[in-house]
Every structure is written in C-alpha cells, then in structure tokens.
Structure 1
Amino acid sequence: MIALIQRVRQASVSIEGQTVGEIKCGLLVLLGVEKDDNTEKAKRLLDKVLAYRVFADQDGKMNLNVKQANGSVLVVSQFTLAAETNKGLRPSFSNGASPQLAEQLYDYFSQQCSRQINTACGKFAADMQISLINDGPVTFWLQI
C-alpha cells in the first residue's frame, strides 16, 4: 500500500465542478492499493501517515505530526501509484489491486482516519480534480 503525502496549506477535491472534500492546513494523502494489500497493511500505513513528523515545531524543525499541528487529512484514491514503470514507455498496472479490493481498503483507510482526525475524502474511482497549495513543498512517498 502506498501513500504519497503532501503537506498543504489547503487542498480540495472536486467532481464535475462540485467540491466534495476540502481541508485547510494538513496532509493531502494520495492512496494507492496494491494486489497483496490487506487491512493490516492499511492500518500500519495509516498509523505511519498520522505519526509522520512533517510539520515545523517552534524551532522550525520538522518535529510535529499532523495531529500535533492541528491539521486535517484529505484522502484521495490514486491507482496510478501502483504502476510498474521500470520497462518501456507505458505504465503497467499489474501490481494494482482489483477494483473491489482497492475500494474496500480505501474505505477502510478513510474511515479509520476519520475516527482519529478531521478527514475529507474524494470518491473512489471518480474522475477528480485536485487543487492544493503545497507547503514547502514537502512531499513523501510512504509504502508498506
């Protein structure tokens, strides 16, 4: 399971011109589900995302996690993160989870996240437009 996390000043997700989720300061989490993923991996990844220290403390060091920074999380499904890109000029998605498994684990991740912190979400498998102001920029690839 993969999370591409970006520290943002604000972020929103829209579908057909309608905003379906938005946050102010926090993390945009683009979530990719691979074929061997399960709820245990989803839980471990969520724990890491929420504990990852990417926000500045009073000394300017990245020493605070999103909860300590009083931030929020915007979770968006992104199956292209599971792409195999080592060969050729066209990505292969053979490492990606089936749509059923991916949706189940995306929902699980999002629901568990919302139990711990203010969370907004995109819509699984929808054609979405993401707007954000990346703070830093600060972007990390987390994989379990």
Structure 2
Amino acid sequence: MKAVLQRVSEAAVTIEGNKVADIKAGLLIFVGIEDADTQEDIDWLAAKIVKLRIFNDADGLMNLSVQDVNGDVIVVSQFTLHAATKKGNRPSYIKAAKPDAAIPIYEAFVKQMEKELGKDIQTGKFGADMKVSLLNDGPVTIIIDTKNKE
C-alpha cells in the first residue's frame, strides 16, 4: 500500500456536485492498493499514520499526532499512486489492484483507521470521479509505502 498524507486546515470531497466528506484540521490521506497488499500492510499503515508526529505542539514543533490533536481524517482511494512512469509518456497502472481485490482492502483500511484513531473517519467513494479540495497546512505532505518499511 502507498499513502500520501497531507496535513490540512480543511479538506472536502465532492462527487457529482454533492459534498460527501468535509473536515477541518486533520489529515487527508490518499491510499493506493496493489495486489500484494495484506492485512499486515493495513495494520502497519493505520498504526503508523495515527501515531505519526506531524502536528505542531505549543512550541511550534511537530511533536503531536493526529490522535493527539483529535484531528479529523478523510481517506480517498487513488490507484494512480501506483503509476509506473519509467517507460514512455503514458503511465502504467499494472501494479494497482483491480477493484474486486482493492475494495475489500480499502474498506478494511478505513475500519482499521477508525479503530486506531478511536473515532469515525470520512471517505470518498471508491472508483468515483471525485473532486478533492484541501488547504494544506505547512505545507506538510508525507509519502508512506508499506513495501519500504525499513
């Protein structure tokens, strides 16, 4: 699994003109799933994200997690995170899992995030044409790949 985390002051997801997710301070997480992903990847990634200290403390240092600041979270599926761009000018998405494999992993990740965070999170809609708006705070953007843990 690959994830792109953006610390946000606000974020929203709109599908066909309808706002389906809307948060204030917290994280907007784009997640890409590949066929090799397992429950171990889900558990590790959710725990890592919830504990990652990327929010400012009283001294302005990044010492607090999204859990510490009681931040909100939106998770959006994004298969394009697995784009291979080495050859040619048209990205290949061969590593991205097909929907029948990816949807259960995505849903399990959302549930695990809720369990780790201790509250409900918001989502986009898997496979939908989504319009995502955000106000990146910092800017802080972190990329995590569960296949590159060390």
User: What TM-score bracket applies, with the shorter chain setting the length?
Assistant: over 0.9
TM value normalised by structure 2:
0.92
1:41 paired residue number? 41
1:1-144 equivalent positions in 2, closer than 5 A:
1-115=1-115, 116-144=118-146
1:118, distance to aligned residue in structure 2 (A): 3.6
Q: Which letter does structure 2 place at the counterpart of 1:36? A: A
Structure 2 unaligned blocks of 5 or more: none
Structure 1 unaligned blocks of 5 or more: none
Q: Distance in 1 between matches of 2:83 and 2:102?
A: 14
Q: Distance in 2 between matches of 1:110 and 1:19?
A: 19
Q: Distance in 2 between matches of 1:85 and 1:63?
A: 35
Provide, for residues 30-51 of structure 1, a one-character-per-residue CA deviation record: whole Å limited to 9, x for no partner.
0000121012101111111111
Aligned to 2:67, what secondary structure does the other structure show? coil
Q: Distance in 1 between matches of 2:67 and 2:3?
A: 17
Q: Distance in 1 between matches of 2:119 and 2:137?
A: 20
1:75–1:120 contact (8 Å) kept in structure 2: yes
Provide, for residues 88-141 of structure 1, a one-character-per-residue CA deviation record: whole Å limited to 9, x for no partner.
211111111121111111111112222323411111001100011110110010
Identity value in percent: 47
Q: Distance in 2 between matches of 1:26 and 1:108?
A: 21
Q: Distance in 2 between matches of 1:38 and 1:127?
A: 26
- CA RMSD, Structure 1 to Structure 2 (Å): 1.0
Provide, for residues 8-37 of structure 1, a one-character-per-residue CA deviation record: whole Å limited to 9, x for no partner.
001010100001111110000000001210
Provide, for residues 34-71 of structure 1, a one-character-per-residue CA deviation record: whole Å limited to 9, x for no partner.
12101210111111111111101111111110010110
